[in-house]
Structure 1
Amino acid sequence: MTHQIIPVTQLSEDESWALLAGQPVGRLATSVAGRPDIYPVNYVLDDHTVVFKTERGSKLLELTINDRVAFEVDDWREGLGGWSVVCRGQAEKIEDPDERERAEELPLHPWVPTPKTVYVRIVVDDISGRSFRFNAEEAAPGIELGD
């Protein structure tokens, strides 16, 4: 029996959320002073939303002006394959005292030992993911690719 090799496979919404949940670092894509920019951030998922901490500055200022963002995570293994998950949605500062208290209980620890006092939540409108097969003989470990 011959199997057709599918180099790019669309992932289901559930598969995309599972991969998003398994990574500690993602990339926030937004606009800064009218120019696209990307920021690496560590994050956690909270009930199908993305939560991260930041401090006052250009990133936060732009999120208050243009709250539509994209967030991406990926992984790959050289010679085998990889995957990418992109979600799009609305970024909002967490200001409600009850929501802030909930955010403070999340396992979210900034990498850099500088104060990060502002919690931001991305309310996801849509999520999509793709897996890639680089080597037709093998798939990346832990990723189910199409037959």
Structure 2
Amino acid sequence: MPEQPQTGRGASGPGHAKGDVGRRVAARRQQLGLSREDLALRAGSAPGYIEYLEEKTATPGMGFLLRLADALETTVTMLTGGSADLPPGIGRAGDHPELVELGRDQCWALLGTHGVGRIAVTTAKGPAILPVNYLVTQGEIAFRTSSDALPAGAAGAEIAFEVDHIDDAFSQGWSVLAVGRARTVTEPEGVAKLDRQAYSAPWAGGDRDLWIVVAPDRVTGRRILVRGAPGQLGGR
């Protein structure tokens, strides 16, 4: 009998968004050049369930996951995201990847309105790269820190800010680099405006009420494309 979807956390474990298993199954199946019918035959399932698994929010049981992993010549750990705490990009390169330069408007679109990025600063002990929660406002990038934290050293200097996204399932992703001078925002009206726009308090916690704004002189970006891959990140 073909495996039926289960509800709850099931074999995928806590912390993994629904649909992650299906994304990994689809990516691995296509890497092997298998159709859904081929995979169903290998795994002793029905093609309709493979389609359901890849496109919906099914959570298969461990028995079926073991058969599926064997059919896909991989492991249950990889199918269920057990390597999620490892650095991104541990998989193999996609089929005929293409590196594409992004235009300025595309870069700003990918930056979005907020997220987590990295700033590169010079410290007394040498260069450092630090993650920060950021927001985008009127063509500038702002983040909060504390006056005694390393990111505060960005104020008054030209710094680099970087944000990226890696999709391990499809071996593709993008990165955006913004370079410009950073300044502190201390006037009450400006601070209040940024406080209102902030999507979240800094993830690092603590008293971080010093706003630093970067006005980029240069914004560039690159994207790795795998033509024809499902879930392709927007194309050109």
Paired residues, number? 139
State the match for 1:124 in structure 2. 216
State the match for 2:40 in structure 1. none
Counterpart CA distance in 2 for 1:127 and 1:18 is: 12
Q: As a proportion of its length, which structure holds more strand?
A: 1
In structure 2, give the amino acid aligned to 1:37: A
Q: SS of 2:119's equivalent?
A: strand
Counterpart CA distance in 2 for 1:115 and 1:10 is: 39
Counterpart CA distance in 2 for 1:138 and 1:113 is: 38
Q: As a proportion of its length, which structure holds more helix?
A: 2
Match of 1:113 among 162, 181, 205: 205
| Structure 1 residue runs without a partner (length 5+) | none
Q: What CA deviation, in whole Å up to 9, does each residue of 1:105-141 have, x standing for no partner?
A: 11242113311110110111110010013x4552753
The answer to whether the 8 A contact 1:53-1:110 is kept is yes
The answer to whether the 8 A contact 1:33-1:62 is kept is no
Task: Provide closer, same or farther for how the CA distance between residues 96 and 86 of structure 1 changes in structure 2, counting only shifts above 3 A.
Answer: same
Task: Provide closer, same or farther for how the CA distance between residues 51 and 63 of structure 1 changes in structure 2, counting only shifts above 3 A.
Answer: same
- After TM superposition, the score normalised by the length of structure 1 is 0.83
Match of 1:101 among 192, 204, 212: 192
Q: CA RMSD in A?
A: 2.1
State the match for 2:130 in structure 1. 39
Counterpart CA distance in 1 for 2:98 and 2:151 is: 38
- After TM superposition, the score normalised by the length of structure 2 is 0.54
The answer to whether the 8 A contact 1:88-1:124 is kept is yes
State the match for 2:158 in structure 1. 68
Larger-gyration structure (1/2): 2
The answer to whether the 8 A contact 1:82-1:140 is kept is no
Following TM superposition, by how much is the alpha carbon of 1:100 offset from its aligned partner in structure 2, in angstroms? 1.6
